[in-house]
Amino acid sequence: MTTRDSEDEDETVDVVYATAKIQCVVRIPFTPGLTAVEAVRRAGLLEKFPEIQTGPLVLGVFGERVEEDRLLAPRERVEICRPLKQDPRAMRSNLAASGGVMGRPQSGQDK
């Protein structure tokens, strides 16, 4: 009996892309020398979601921003980040100016 299947799972990298409506996780084989951008290319997400290529490619590994040439290790997760629609600081400032608070509906909207 062999444990090859569980070992194979350890020799993979996940590539993740999410929008408000979908979350896509693609598991690809890990190879020594694999970079973050190469993992994204191998995952096929650039073709599946062409909007990813409309701006600069921003990548992260477990929530921390990384450069495209960052070398990966087995079991890491590469995240393709989307641009923010609004600066969070400006959004908080605008809410505070109108009497609102993050996470709660503004008065008049909760009725």
Q: What are the sequence ranges of the domains in the chain?
A: 4-81
The CATH number that domain 4-81 falls under is 3.10.20.90
Q: Can you give the three-state secondary structure of 46-89, one letter per residue?
A: HHHCHHHHHCCCEEEECCEEECCCCECCCCCEEEEECCCCCCHH
Whether the full predicted model's pTM is greater than 0.75, yes or no, is no
Q: What is the pLDDT of residue 9?
A: 59
Question: Does residue 110 surpass a pLDDT of 90?
Answer: no
Q: Name which residue leads in pLDDT, 94 or 83.
A: 94
Asked if the model's pLDDT at residue 64 lies above 60, the reply is: yes
H-helix or E-strand spanning residue 8: helix 4-10
